[in-house]
Chains A and B, each alone.
Chain A
Amino acid sequence: MTTQAVRLFRRMDGLFAVYKPQGVHWKLVRDTIESNLLKELNSCPPPAPQLAVKFQLLSSGANNGSKDLILSPSMLPSLADHPLVTGPQFHKVHVGVGHRLDAFSSGVLVLGVGKGNGVLEHLCRSHVTRDYTLEGEFGRATNDFSHTTRVIEKTTYDHVTQDKLEKVLAMIQGANQKALITYSQMDLRTQEAYELAVKGLLYPHGKSPPILTGLRCIHFNPPHFTLEVQCVNETQKYLRKLIHEVGLELRTSAVCSGVRRTRDGPFKAENALTRQHWTADRIIQAIAHFRKTTRKIRKSGMHGQTAGQLNSSTRNQEQIRSQIGQSDQISQEHVELSSPTSDRIVDRVTPGTG
């Protein structure tokens, strides 16, 4: 006979996404969520206490006037099962964190509860791309690449225009594309490699340094500018360093004033829970929402294949390539692979023979 608490606990199994606010350590987020889940579980009524036979001194029946006290047995609940003596029913809920976000950044943070932690492992090992929005500011350079730490140098930025910025971004993008192909560990002279490259399915296999699969400027208002990045295997410090390097290439200096993750694999910001909604019922709803995605990750993980996250990245790649007008082997009639919502995980064929 399962109690209400146990039934609620069994529903807490799966993955969901949370929007981490800026300035908060990810561990605090994880602890807050765990304590909220525990609070809800422990507020369920505890199981009924066991009954024990106790002898009590009761006065004998009312008919005789003598006040004889006799020992009479009765079944009373045992105090050893009282909730103040046994303590809370649940002490721990396993909440795991996916790709971590440092305190300076904000954005989508994937968490796994209960059995979802195993699936989290698959997600981390698979090569899903992540979407970031980087805000930069020209004119300053700091030791930490962020806008709050000590300023090392100040420069002018009047000479910077949008097309210069685009050129620099294209150059960085080209270098990253090359790295993408190098780390895909495929022999480029085969037909298979060509077909995968046509579809845009060339992905780094195994360990690789941070690679940007997509990079473009969405807002330019000197000294402020905003970049959108899709990357694989990155850290937030690398992205801040990227802003600094963009500044260096433009013969000025730049600091990063914000790193925001808008997508982590199939988990997007629209469905991430904000701070007010970190309660057990909303979390269970979010887990139910992501159930299909979780199942797909688990299946793809079990097949031992790497899953590549696509559509938006391929589209951006095409845009940038057409912008610079690079001649390449990839034909212009690219195959539209997945739905525009781009939260599907496409299984990739392992290059066994290649």
Chain B
Amino acid sequence: MHLCRRCVSVLLSRPLLSAALQPSTHTLHQRSHHILLQHSRVQPAIHSLTQRHSRETWTPCGRRNLTDHQAASPDVYNNKTDLAEGEVEKHIVPFENLNVHQISNQESLSDIGLDAVVRPSPLQEISEEEAVQIQVPSALPPDSFTLKPYVDKSETLSKLVQLGVNLWELEQRPNVGSMLVRLDFHADVAPKLLFLKDLGVEESKLGTLLTKNPFILTESLDNLEARVSYLKAKKFSPQSVAVMVSKAPYLLNFSIERLDNRLGFFQKQLGLSAEKTRNVVTRLPKLLCGSLEPIKENLKVCELEFGFRGNEIQHIVTAVPKLLIANKRKLTQIFDFVHNTMDVPHSLIAKFPQVFNAKFLRIKERHLFLEYLGRAQYQPSQPNYISLDRLVFLPDDIFCSEVALATLEDFERFQKTL
């Protein structure tokens, strides 16, 4: 008996799974993606339309389902969230398949243990009220690996695609796809989008914002409004709040206490005035989102390892706030090369903090080229002085023609001797 139940469930589930895995012209790579997922035994991201039902709630429709493998019955939801399970059962099925047919013909339904439902014949006439009550089965698969089957049918998803949200990226993240499918456009999504528009976020930026942070749609509207009013109370102008939200999409998901804590930390640690702190935070709102430990470490490195004084650090941070969240090792590498090999003093580096933003290899190659040509002069008092920002930020051809006074080919040939 148990055996037959399993077979029945597999036979019913087979058309569902094949519907979900319908290969289209563009899903070949996704096919292999599925296969890779199966081989790697990682739980694939499955987007399920409904909540999980236990096995007992399916209502088989008697003998007919065992014999005809037509479209799935609407009331049966087989939530096999593990495709591997289905595969295993498919292998087991072939032997029992034949047996099942024989059994169904011979034994009665009560022996198999299925609820006997008497189905009317399709040619029987029914009244108008009964006709209206017929439920048309939806062709949407209950679970699938991608959001493709749902996009055309779901209002939320199609509006999101039209806004510019990258659904493919979002469906790679676990559970985000299911969350998006279950959202109701008019109840959940529309109020938040209107809220963001009122805030001043441009429509073109809404797509990228939602791609980076889809959870803004599940945050309650009261919380969002409270956080925005907190920021405005801290004297951030409405335009700066809009800019901050578009640059750091996760900003409004953080609680007021956390934002307060961070702002206080920056004002205290850096010793800047409120206006300057606001300026720094508006330019790099990611500072409010991440953890404070790496920032504390970076500040310590600047002070102790590099040997910058307090006011120099303040100046550097207001000019290049990225220093606070940059990689410690890369910062140290750049500083070591600029200070020890190029012999640039602290005061001059503090004057041009943009060198910390540049790539180390670029600085190294250009400096060695200038040294080879004998033009490596970084003291402002001497003639032929080359400032650090011109060294680092000019594009290659202008650097070669104006600063190094050589051709681009010479520079490339020199690069191949390094």
Interface on A for B, CB 8 Å cutoff? 19, 21-24, 47, 52, 78-82, 84-89, 91, 106, 260, 269, 272, 274-276
Complex contact B412–A85 (CB within 8 A): no
Known: A82-B161, A85-B168. 8 other contacts (CB 8 A): A80-B149, A82-B151, A84-B164, A84-B168, A86-B148, A88-B168, A275-B415, A276-B396
Complex contact B161–A274 (CB within 8 A): no
Is B186's CB within 8 Å of the partner chain A? Answer: no
CA distance A276 to B158 in the complex (A): 41
CA distance A79 to B29 in the complex (A): 18
Distance from B370 Cβ to chain A, minimum over Cβ atoms (Å): 17
Distance from A208 Cβ to chain B, minimum over Cβ atoms (Å): 30
CA distance A82 to B147 in the complex (A): 12
Most chain B CB within a 10 A radius of its CB, from A80, A86, A272 = A80
Interface set, chain B 348-397, CB cutoff 8 A to A: 361, 365, 396
Distance from B102 Cβ to chain A, minimum over Cβ atoms (Å): 42
Distance from A29 Cβ to chain B, minimum over Cβ atoms (Å): 12
Among A19, A78, A89, point to the contact of B152 (Cβ < 8 A): A78
Sample (20) of A-B pairs whose CB atoms are under 8 Å apart: A19-B415, A79-B151, A79-B152, A79-B157, A79-B161, A80-B148, A80-B149, A81-B26, A84-B164, A84-B166, A85-B146, A85-B147, A86-B27, A86-B168, A87-B30, A87-B168, A87-B169, A88-B168, A274-B416, A275-B415
CA distance A79 to B168 in the complex (A): 12
Complex contact B148–A85 (CB within 8 A): yes
Complex contact B151–A80 (CB within 8 A): yes
Distance from B33 Cβ to chain A, minimum over Cβ atoms (Å): 8
Among B151, B158, B361, point to the contact of A24 (Cβ < 8 A): B361
CA distance A84 to B412 in the complex (A): 39
Complex contact B418–A84 (CB within 8 A): no
Complex contact B26–A84 (CB within 8 A): no
Is B167's CB within 8 Å of the partner chain A? Answer: yes
Distance from A17 Cβ to chain B, minimum over Cβ atoms (Å): 11
CA distance A84 to B158 in the complex (A): 11
Among B149, B151, B165, B418, point to the contact of A106 (Cβ < 8 A): B418
Interface of B is mostly: helix
B164 neighbours in A (Cβ, 8 Å): 84
CA distance A79 to B26 in the complex (A): 13
Provided the pairs A21-B361, A78-B152, A276-B396 are in contact, do residues A85 and B415 lie with their beta carbons within 8 angstroms?
A: no
Q: Size of chain B's interface in residues, with CB distance under 8 A? A: 29
Distance from A89 Cβ to chain B, minimum over Cβ atoms (Å): 8
CA distance A91 to B418 in the complex (A): 34
Provided the pairs A79-B161, A82-B161, A86-B26 are in contact, do residues A269 and B151 lie with their beta carbons within 8 angstroms?
A: no
Distance from A179 Cβ to chain B, minimum over Cβ atoms (Å): 31
Distance from B151 Cβ to chain A, minimum over Cβ atoms (Å): 5
Provided the pairs A84-B164, A85-B168 are in contact, do residues A22 and B418 lie with their beta carbons within 8 angstroms?
A: yes
A274 neighbours in B (Cβ, 8 Å): 412, 415-416
B25 neighbours in A (Cβ, 8 Å): 47
CA distance A24 to B361 in the complex (A): 9
Interface set, chain B 128-174, CB cutoff 8 A to A: 146-149, 151-152, 157-158, 161, 164-169
CA distance A260 to B165 in the complex (A): 47
CA distance A275 to B151 in the complex (A): 42
Chain A's closest residue to B207 (CB) is: A84
CA distance A52 to B365 in the complex (A): 56
CA distance A78 to B150 in the complex (A): 11
A88 neighbours in B (Cβ, 8 Å): 168
Most chain A CB within a 10 A radius of its CB, from B165, B169, B418 = B418
CA distance A185 to B381 in the complex (A): 68
Q: 1/0 per position for B393-418, CB-CB distance to A under 8 A?
A: 00010000000000000001001111
Distance from B358 Cβ to chain A, minimum over Cβ atoms (Å): 14
CA distance A272 to B149 in the complex (A): 47
Complex contact A85–B161 (CB within 8 A): yes
B148 neighbours in A (Cβ, 8 Å): 80, 85-86
A21 neighbours in B (Cβ, 8 Å): 361, 365, 415, 418
Complex contact B416–A269 (CB within 8 A): yes
Interface set, chain B 28-48, CB cutoff 8 A to A: 29-30
Chain A's closest residue to B360 (CB) is: A23
B169 neighbours in A (Cβ, 8 Å): 87
Complex contact B151–A85 (CB within 8 A): yes
CA distance A280 to B105 in the complex (A): 65
Among B29, B167, B365, B396, point to the contact of A85 (Cβ < 8 A): B167
Provided the pairs A79-B151, A79-B158 are in contact, do residues A84 and B167 lie with their beta carbons within 8 angstroms?
A: yes
Complex contact B161–A19 (CB within 8 A): no
CA distance A113 to B152 in the complex (A): 38
Provided the pairs A84-B168, A85-B148, A85-B161 are in contact, do residues A23 and B415 lie with their beta carbons within 8 angstroms?
A: no
Chain A's closest residue to B395 (CB) is: A276
B417 neighbours in A (Cβ, 8 Å): 260
Complex contact A52–B152 (CB within 8 A): yes
Distance from B157 Cβ to chain A, minimum over Cβ atoms (Å): 8
Distance from B208 Cβ to chain A, minimum over Cβ atoms (Å): 11
Closest 6 CB pairs of A and B: A87-B168, A80-B148, A79-B151, A86-B26, A85-B167, A274-B415
Distance from A45 Cβ to chain B, minimum over Cβ atoms (Å): 14
A260 neighbours in B (Cβ, 8 Å): 417-418
Chain B's closest residue to A80 (CB) is: B148
B412 neighbours in A (Cβ, 8 Å): 274, 276
A24 neighbours in B (Cβ, 8 Å): 361
B167 neighbours in A (Cβ, 8 Å): 84-85
B157 neighbours in A (Cβ, 8 Å): 79
CA distance A89 to B26 in the complex (A): 8
B149 neighbours in A (Cβ, 8 Å): 80
A81 neighbours in B (Cβ, 8 Å): 26
Complex contact A272–B418 (CB within 8 A): no
Chain B's closest residue to A88 (CB) is: B168
Chain A's closest residue to B361 (CB) is: A21
Distance from B393 Cβ to chain A, minimum over Cβ atoms (Å): 15
CA distance A86 to B25 in the complex (A): 11
CA distance A75 to B396 in the complex (A): 51
B151 neighbours in A (Cβ, 8 Å): 79-80, 82, 85
Complex contact B396–A19 (CB within 8 A): no
Among A84, A86, A89, point to the contact of B165 (Cβ < 8 A): A84
Complex contact A84–B161 (CB within 8 A): yes
CA distance A89 to B418 in the complex (A): 38
CA distance A291 to B149 in the complex (A): 45
Chain B's closest residue to A22 (CB) is: B418
A91 neighbours in B (Cβ, 8 Å): 29
Most chain B CB within a 10 A radius of its CB, from A52, A87, A106, A269 = A87
B416 neighbours in A (Cβ, 8 Å): 19, 269, 272, 274
CA distance A275 to B165 in the complex (A): 34
CA distance A88 to B157 in the complex (A): 19
A85 neighbours in B (Cβ, 8 Å): 146-148, 151, 161, 167-168
Chain B's closest residue to A52 (CB) is: B152
